[in-house]
Amino acid sequence: MRLPRRPLAALLAAGWIVAGCDSPTHTETRPDVAAPSVQLSSPVSGSTVTTATATIAGTAADSAGVARVTVQVNGGAEEAVAITAGTSVSFSATVALAMGPNTVALNAYDAAGNRGTSTLGLTRANPGPALVGFSIDPDSVDVRTGAATAQLTFRVSTAFLVTGVAALLQNASGNQLTCTRELPTSTDAQGVGTFVCPIDVGTGTSAGPYTVVSVTVSQASGSTTYTPAQLQQAGFETRLAVAAPPPAVAPVPLGLSFAPDPVNVSGASATVTFTVRATHPSGVKAAYVLLMSPQGGEVGRCLAQSSTAPVDATMQCSIVFANKSTLQPGTLRVWLGIYSAQGGYQLYTDDALAARGFDASLQVEVDTTPPALVGLDLTPDSVDVRTADASAFAIFRVSHGYRADRVSITLADQEGGTHSCEAFSGVTDASGVQVFSCAIALQPTSPSGSYTVTQVVVSTRNAAGAPTTITYNTAALAAGGSDTTLKVVGSGDRAAPTVIGLSFGPDPLRVTGAQATVTFDVRLSDPGSGTSFTYVFLIRNGGEAARCSSQTLVSGTPADGTFRCSITFVNSPSLQPATYGVSVSPHDRFGNFAIYTPAQLEAAGFDATFEVQVNTSTPRLLGVSIVPDSVDVTDALRPAGVFLRVTNGYRALPGSVTLSGPESQSFVCSDLHVESTDAS
């Protein structure tokens, strides 16, 4: 029977009984598609490490439970990571890193196979150098009887990157010992370099323990300095004991005398002898006597020495006063410097010596009579220069000549030319007169005739020390019986060679390859002394652009012959097509010469215009090679050569090659030069 549809309340009101019915419970099961979440806690993505491995730490979570975790480096195979399964797990995985950038992925899986992944990037770089060992051997030196050496040994990792090591040691008084070294003495298979650096400890070194204040390891990118605390923590030696003699005692003067005093410099020179007595516990080795001007400048010195270096030494030395124009009368101050046998030194000024009761001033008296010319001889009095150079000597006799700075002579020839020479020092003859001499040089081109001495000048200084001169003219010289004329026989050849022929080729010159050469033949006439050599100049924009010269005849004689020279044009970026003027400058044996300009040569009927044509094609790169193409720099620097093949490379300016590498490194090769030019 089918019941009619009625509301539940109506059914109850009508006496219907509603009873519950038991039936099976139905549960709907849905599939697990949620992937575990992965969180990485360390290291930070983008970090740079210097170790070969890195440990990755993190957590993974999944409501259904994390079944397993794997790690994957640079897209390689997944490797299992140890965990305890659960809805939230922690993990730690150690992975090997390649040099340079690395990508590490951590994968978490649930029982349904869902995978959650988190990645991070790590860059592995070469570890910087590090101090792994430091020692001092021996750790104690004794310099009381002689110098000694302590050897510092540095051991540094990644030694090929190290540009130097240094150590600074200091005692309580602030005295320092230093040591630096740039290259390792040896490097082991692990790249650890041993730097051995000796410290020479001299006898003058202060005593006491010296503590290592710092050790510095330097590389191109900077330096690392290790403090005493860091060195001690690493167990390295940080102390050098120095046993040294006590501080030196200054040598002391016991006596000072000198004679004569005053010293009278009435002739060419005078001598003063100094006697010095001094004492020192180790012995006295030497003493310097210094004479000082009132203004504080040193005038002279002498060294007094003792061969046995006794504790109480008496020594002597002498100072010679040469009577020169600069020597003036006055009072000089005496200073004394004394050396002990141990090398100690003490200087005593005139005031310090006077305070000890010693006479420390020397009176100098000087004959300041000015020099005077008493004779002049010309030797020989006749000179023949028709075939070669020759000289005549001027011999000056000067009273009080030791006070003359120099003596000069001037002669005039018949054509108004002048000839001169000067002498700066003389010798004293038996009569006490100073004799000066100088050579008057004459050439074959000098005019013939009698040359007249127009003046002799004696230079000296006045009483105030200012330069002054004493001049003798021709009349004064003749009145004193001096020679005043010199006879000269010259060649009369004062004519320069003449250009009688000029040719050159090829013209135009075509510089199509690396270089090209033009050759010039110049025929020259010089019936006098004959042509010696010639220049050929190329003129552009009013200035010299190139030149060549020749001393060799290719035909004929010096009187009428042809000289040849060449100019090579190198094809470079600066060489451009151009037209040049040709200029010639011939020289004869007697020094006569002429310069023939392009206009003068053209007027004489010669071709004096020269053209250069140049291949100015732009250089073009054909190929690049690097030899070797692989280098291993794990233990040392290695070179690689870069070779470029370039057409028209002779017109290339110096350039550079840049190579880019990992870690944003770049290498620049700028020492480019032409290695060779092939047949093409």
Q: What is the pLDDT of residue 288?
A: 96
CATH of domain 37-124: 2.60.40.650
Q: How distant, in Å, are the alpha carbons of 189, 207, 330, 552, 585 from that of 523?
A: 74, 84, 71, 12, 12
**Helix/strand/coil for 266:** coil
Nearest to 611 by CA among 579, 583, 582: 579
Q: What is the pLDDT of residue 18?
A: 44
Q: What is the pLDDT of residue 428?
A: 83
What ranges in 381-500 are assigned the alpha helix state H? 474-479
Helix (H) or strand (E) holding 211: strand 208-219
Looking at every residue in the chain, the average pLDDT score rounds to 90
Q: What is the pTM of this model?
A: 0.48
| Annotation: CATH topology of 131-243 | Immunoglobulin-like (2.60.40)
CA-CA distance, 377 to 483, in Å (whole number)? Answer: 5
Q: What are phi and psi of 315, to 5 degrees?
A: -135, 155
Q: What is the dihedral of CA 495, 501, 507, 511, to 10 degrees?
A: -50
Nearest to 540 by CA among 596, 612, 602: 612
Q: What are 548's strand-pairing partners?
A: 536
Residue 312 neighbours by CB under 8 Å, 6+ apart: 254, 277, 278, 279, 284
Q: What is the pLDDT of residue 61?
A: 95
The string over 140-178, giving b where at least 16 C-beta atoms fall within 10 Å of a residue's C-beta and e elsewhere, is ebebeeeebebebebbbbbbbbbeebbbbbbbeeeeebe
Retrieve residue 531's tokens. Answer: 């042509």
Strand order in the sheet with 269-279: 252-259, 269-279, 312-322
Per residue in 245-259, pLDDT (tens digit) is 777 688 999 999 999
Residue 545's region, left for phi above 0, alpha for psi from -120 to 50, else beta, is alpha
Retrieve residue 115's tokens. Answer: 């995978």
Q: What is the pLDDT of residue 605?
A: 96
Q: Around 386, how many Cα atoms within 13 Å sit in the side-chain half-sphere? A: 7
CA-CA distance, 205 to 149, in Å (whole number)? Answer: 12
Q: What is the pLDDT of residue 28?
A: 61
Domain ranges of the chain: 37-124, 131-243, 252-366, 372-489, 498-614, 620-669
CA-CA distance, 327 to 321, in Å (whole number)? Answer: 8
The string over 435-468, giving b where at least 16 C-beta atoms fall within 10 Å of a residue's C-beta and e elsewhere, is bbbbebebebbbbbeebebebbbbbbbeeeeeee
Nearest to 558 by CA among 497, 512, 493, 489: 497
Q: What is the pLDDT of residue 30?
A: 77
Q: What is the pLDDT of residue 563?
A: 97
Complete DSSP assignment for 519-562: EEEEEEE-SSS-EEEEEEEEEETTEEEEEEEE--EEEEETTEEE
| Annotation: CATH topology of 372-489 | Immunoglobulin-like (2.60.40)
The reply to whether domains 252-366 and 498-614 share a CATH topology is yes
Per residue in 536-576, pLDDT (tens digit) is 999 999 999 999 999 999 999 999 999 999 999 999 888 99
DSSP class of residue 604 equals T
CA-CA distance, 577 to 616, in Å (whole number)? Answer: 9
Q: What are phi and psi of 283, to 5 degrees?
A: 110, 155
Single-letter code of the amino acid located at 132? V
Are the C-beta atoms of residues 129 and 50 closer than 8 Å to each other? Answer: no
CATH for 252-366, options being 1.20.120.430, 3.10.20.600, 2.60.40.10, 3.40.50.2030: 2.60.40.10
Nearest to 243 by CA among 159, 143, 150, 152: 143
Per residue in 604-655, pLDDT (tens digit) is 999 999 999 998 888 888 888 888 888 887 767 788 888 888 888 777 777 7
Q: What is the pLDDT of residue 248?
A: 67
Which residue stretches of the chain have pLDDT < 70?
A: 1-29, 248, 635, 663-666
For domain 498-614, is the CATH number 3.40.190.10? no
Q: What are phi and psi of 576, to 5 degrees?
A: -130, 155
CA-CA distance, 156 to 183, in Å (whole number)? Answer: 11
